[in-house]
């Protein structure tokens, strides 16, 4: 019995040994043949052209198989995994310094969309004779020297049907009845208003000024309207328009997020004939930023005044004729009296 068991164990051991050799033989055979394990394929790519920096000065994104890298001011194209440049190189370095690379032009910031609102009607005075609260998108501006009331746009708005940012909507004497009387109470002499402390100096405009004033006409009569166009403004600042020789404040305004401004002004009715200037200043400053010449002609005499003047002249001429006639009669009487006196003397 023991012999049978021993023979079975020997057979199993022999079978296991033969199976192990079957697995080992191929590996030994390959090792003896010198065959290396398989490696992944590498794609060859060319060195890219020099990059163009973005508008902010950054490197652009890389292309197929490479990335752009900046090291110590130099620019390199570095191959990604699975790619290689000619001759198996991992990078290309034949590029100008980063500071010498071209840059994309900056894209202008798009202007925000403006909300369109209607031009407001002439406002009605409140019970105490002041201007009412303005509506959406604009403010009121009253100019005492001219009596005008303007609607001035706020940033982000535009008036329908016009590019003007300031629109005249009426006269103060037509809107506020108590304003003039309340103001006159504080004036010792209404004909001599107090000088405006912010009036522009009579000096040249700075040579480096960017602002510009353009008028629609060069000659006007007192009371005429003039279209004023301004450019080169700082969109964040407030400005004042003046009429000078004797400075008269026409209007204060805010650029409203724009670098241009347009409005229609009225030449004050009491403006003297002669050469004047429409002057732009920053609000609160006396330094002229820009100006344009405006010639004001003498006001023409109206038909009624001319007729009255003619009648007065005719009457004066007629009176002169009457005086001449009376003087002639008086002279005749004197001469006649002298002749009578001589005749009487001869008789005696």
**Predicted pLDDT of residue 187:** 41
Mean pLDDT lowest among 39-43, 61-65, 234-238: 39-43
87-110 pLDDT, tens digit each: 888 999 889 988 899 998 887 777
**Predicted pLDDT of residue 44:** 92
More confident residue, 19 or 234: 234
In sequence order, the β-bridge partners of residue 215 are: 228
Mean pLDDT lowest among 107-121, 255-269, 334-348: 334-348
Is a pLDDT exceeding 70 seen at residue 42?
yes
**Predicted pLDDT of residue 328:** 54
**Predicted pLDDT of residue 175:** 53
156-188 pLDDT, tens digit each: 889 999 888 888 888 766 554 444 433 443 343
Specify the long-range contacts of residues 116-119, CB closer than 8 Å, at least 24 apart.
116/157, 116/158, 116/159, 116/160, 117/157, 117/158, 117/159, 117/160, 118/159, 118/160, 119/151, 119/159, 119/160, 119/161, 119/162, 119/167, 119/169
Dist. CA 39–CA 42, nearest whole Å: 9
In sequence order, the β-bridge partners of residue 62 are: none
203-222 pLDDT, tens digit each: 888 888 889 999 999 899 98
109-141 pLDDT, tens digit each: 777 788 999 999 988 878 877 888 999 999 888
pLDDT grade for 80, boundaries at 50, 70 and 90: very high
224 contacts: CB under 8 Å, gap ≥ 6: 217, 266, 267
């Amino acid at each position: 019995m023991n012999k049978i068991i021993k023979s079975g164990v020997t057979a199993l051991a022999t079978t296991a040994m033969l199976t192990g050799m079957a697995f080992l033989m191929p590996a030994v055979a390959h090792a003896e043949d010198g065959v290396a394990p398989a490696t992944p394929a590498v794609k060859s790519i060319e060195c890219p052209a020099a990059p163009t920096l973005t508008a902010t000065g950054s490197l652009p994104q890389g292309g197929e198989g490479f990335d752009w890298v900046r090291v110590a001011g130099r620019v390199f194209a570095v191959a990604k995994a699975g790619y290689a440049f000619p001759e198996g190189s991992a990078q290309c370095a034949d590029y100008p310094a980063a500071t010498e690379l071209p840059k994309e032009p900056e894209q202008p910031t798009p202007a925000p969309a403006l909300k369109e609102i209607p031009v407001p009607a002439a406002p009605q005075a409140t019970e105490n004779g002041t201007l009412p609260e303005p509506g959406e998108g604009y403010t009121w501006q009253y100019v005492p020297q001219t009596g005008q009331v303007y609607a001035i746009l706020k940033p982000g708005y535009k008036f329908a049907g016009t590019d003007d940012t300031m629109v005249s909507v009426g006269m103060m004497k037509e809107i506020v009845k108590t304003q003039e009387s309340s103001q006159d109470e504080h004036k010792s002499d209404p004909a001599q208003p107090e000088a405006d402390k912010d009036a522009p100096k009579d000096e040249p405009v700075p040579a480096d000024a960017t602002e510009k004033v353009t008028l629609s006409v060069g000659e006007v009569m007192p009371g005429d309207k003039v279209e004023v166009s301004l450019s080169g403004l700082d969109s964040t600042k407030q400005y004042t328009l003046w009429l000078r020789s004797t400075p008269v404040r026409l209007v204060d305004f805010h650029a409203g997020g724009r670098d241009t401004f347009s409005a229609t002004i009225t030449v004050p009715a009491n403006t003297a004939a002669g050469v004047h200037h429409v002057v732009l200043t920053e609000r609160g400053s006396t330094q002229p930023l820009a100006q344009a010449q405006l010639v004001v002609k003498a006001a023409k005499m109206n038909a009624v005044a001319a007729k009255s003047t003619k009648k007065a002249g005719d009457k004066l001429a007629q009176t002169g004729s009457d005086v001449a006639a009376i003087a002639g009669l008086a002279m005749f009487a004197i001469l006649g009296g002298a002749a009578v006196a001589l005749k009487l003397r001869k008789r005696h």
